[in-house]
Amino acid sequence: MPDLTNLGEVFQTDVLILGGGLAGLIVACRIKETNGDTDVLVVEKSTAGSAGGKANKGAGVMWVMDETDDVDAFREYYCKVHGHDLCDQELLEKLCGSTLEMVRHLERWGIDIKREADGRLARLEALPLWSLCAYDLDILNKLKARAVQLGVKTLDKTQSVELLTEANRVVGAVGFDLIDGTYRIFKSKAVVLATGSCNWMVSNMWFSGRGDGIAAAYRAGAELRNAEFSNFYNLGVRGSMEALVGGQFALYNSEGEYLAAKYCGDSEVDIDIGILLGMEKEVMEGRGPIVFEESEFFANNAIGASGLLFRWKRPVADAFWHRLMEKQAKYNSDTAWRPEVIPMFIGEFAAMKTDHDMRTTLEGAWALGDTNRTGSGWSGARPHPSGLRGSGLTWAAVSALLSEKSLVQYAKEAAEPKIDPEQVSAFKEQIYTPMKREGGLSPRDAIRRLQEVLTPPRFGVRKSKERIEEALVRVREVWHQAETEVTAAKDWHMLGLCSDLRNMTQCADLYYTACLARTESRGWHYREDFPARDDEKWLRWIDLKQNDGKTAISTHRIPIERYKTKPEVVTAVR
């Protein structure tokens, strides 16, 4: 039997946190605050605090249920308009009840939460049922400093690749150093997946989401839920890579017809799949291109252009956004008076199934934030975070808070983990294989092939059995290439990309597998061969699990009798 220390560098800890973004850093801080003796190690692929994570790249606006917000009214609205009755309503209520606690912790940790002049959190007229808070984009730097001060250990530039298991229990992980290739073995009583979602490397600001933790957990035997709701699109000006948030209220066809009135729901404040289907229909019927009228954008847009980005004094955010806009003005290819708008694929595969304490279905493993946003069930029939802007950050933070108690208790009581050196050795052989190939395909080319499948609206917005099956065949061809042909060309970062490729391909396969199973249309899942919602058959969640190398599908009835918001009889056909 191989000796662990001969196989790689060994680390031992009580709690291993994979991913040093918002969720990972918050849970690390909370564990150390409540249980100083617990050893916590954060392993980050990039650099925790500065480069890693998404929270330092976005709008920095978080959804909050303030004291005056009515949770019952919000639940009714959210479950019907956004969740399409597929929400775990109990978790949704738990989440609503935890957002102010999140604000309190952030302020305690020195995060400057921006408020209106009267001290209240922001409320927008167009968003009457909930509030927002904002912070500057240096939040992760501050949280990392706080975590280190509390005694959290961090290890950057280390890509975790596979989870180590002892029967049904997760007991650690393996990965490698992206600078010098050292193989790293992590032994831990509890493991937290905080590695973010999968965005398939399409849109530049979502580049870090490659599904690493989710795919590794699936391979280790964890269950996924709601994977069919992973097809998030924004709108973008052709030639630009930035999202036009709220742009649906400023679109016209070539005959000058205003499209929002035709394709957007009355109470839809964000982006609805209806506008994407409508844009495609207009173009297919000869009324393209779809163009964007800037004055409408400012007049009608509730969330994107309402000045939200620049409402507060946030020096880091201001510099970030101004630099981005300057670049956009300089390089954007379409400078027409009314530029052409196209659907902009974002993805958002966030399907780790968890309970209300964020436990996955594997003992010893928890999942947080962008890994389990859809899989935890609260957000219903739509991909993360459409509909409720600001909820990406809030979920990352609140899921971390909700996990802390059970995690700490488990780490205290669990038996010493046992690592199987044979498993560690087999993973090592598999991980470094692309490094040994003399020639072959660049992972970049294979990733491009994967993106060509995922991004066109005919595979991501308007689906059918035939097209999903075609997509699955093409995705599996890329998987075969990932397993047999790709070469890292003796470069450790390329080896990282080879691993990303496997993960992204696996996430794509699981997404289409779930899409094929749901034979109805609901929320962001639209099947032209099943255009109606079917409550009799499909008031259900779809779960996926690896079984003998194949994906086993099971469905679970929503316990609607326990929930306060009941579905209406729906007959509408889109």
Ligand X SMILES: Cc1cc2nc3c(=O)[nH]c(=O)nc-3n(C[C@H](O)[C@H](O)[C@H](O)COP(=O)(O)OP(=O)(O)OC[C@H]3O[C@@H](n4cnc5c(N)ncnc54)[C@H](O)[C@@H]3O)c2cc1C
Residues 172, 196, 221, 274: which binds ligand X (CB under 6 A)?
196
Using CB under 6 A as the binding rule, whether residue 343 contacts ligand X is answered as no
Part of the chain binding ligand X (CB under 6 A), chosen from 315-323, 383-391, 511-519, 553-561: 383-391
Is 46 a binding residue for ligand X by CB under 6 A? The answer is: yes
**Would you state the structure tokens that stand for residue 138, as one six-digit string?**
């240096």
Q: Which is nearer to ligand X, 176 or 252 (CB)?
A: 176
Q: What are phi and psi of 224, to 5 degrees?
A: -115, 155
**Alpha carbons 336 and 556: distance in angstroms, whole number:** 50
E-state strands within 294-424:
341-345, 365-367
Examine residue 301 and tell whether it contacts ligand X (CB under 6 A). Answer: no
Closest CB to ligand X among residues 24, 523:
24
Return left, alpha or beta for 187; rule: phi > 0 is left, psi -120 to 50 is alpha, else beta.
beta
Site mask, ligand X, residues 209-248, x = CB under 6 A?
Answer: x--x------------------------------------
Compute, in degrees rounded to 10, the torsion defined by CA atoms 3, 6, 11, 15: -40
- Shortest reach from residue 31's CB to ligand X, in Å: 15
Beta bridge pairs of residue 234: 344
The span of 55-63, 98-106, 111-119, 423-431 binding ligand X (CB under 6 A) equals: 55-63
Give dist(CA 135, CA 457) in Å, integer. Answer: 34
Query: Which C-beta is closer to ligand X: that of 217 or that of 277?
Result: 217
- 396 near ligand X, judged by CB under 6 A: yes
Residues 468 and 516 sit within 8 Å (Cβ to Cβ) = yes
Stretch that binds ligand X, among 39-47, 295-303, 505-513, 514-522 (CB under 6 A): 39-47
Cα angle 85, 90, 94; round to 5: 125
- Asked if residue 24 binds ligand X (CB under 6 A), the reply is yes
Residue 57 binding ligand X, by CB under 6 A? yes
40: phi > 0 → left, psi -120 to 50 → alpha, else beta; which? beta
Would you call 308 helix, strand, or coil by DSSP?
Answer: helix
In angstroms, give the least distance from the CB of 313 to ligand X.
Answer: 17
- For ligand X, how many residues bind (rule: CB under 6 A)? 41
Residue span binding ligand X (CB under 6 A) among the ranges 15-23, 92-100, 287-295, 463-471 = 15-23
Among residues 226, 234, 391, 481, which is the contact residue for ligand X, using CB under 6 A? 391
> Sign of torsion, CA 294 298 300 304?
positive
Q: Closest Cα to residue 397, out of 157, 133, 73?
A: 133
Q: Which residues bind ligand X (CB under 6 A)?
A: 18-24, 43-46, 52-55, 57-62, 159-160, 194-196, 205-206, 208-209, 212, 369-370, 385, 389-394, 396
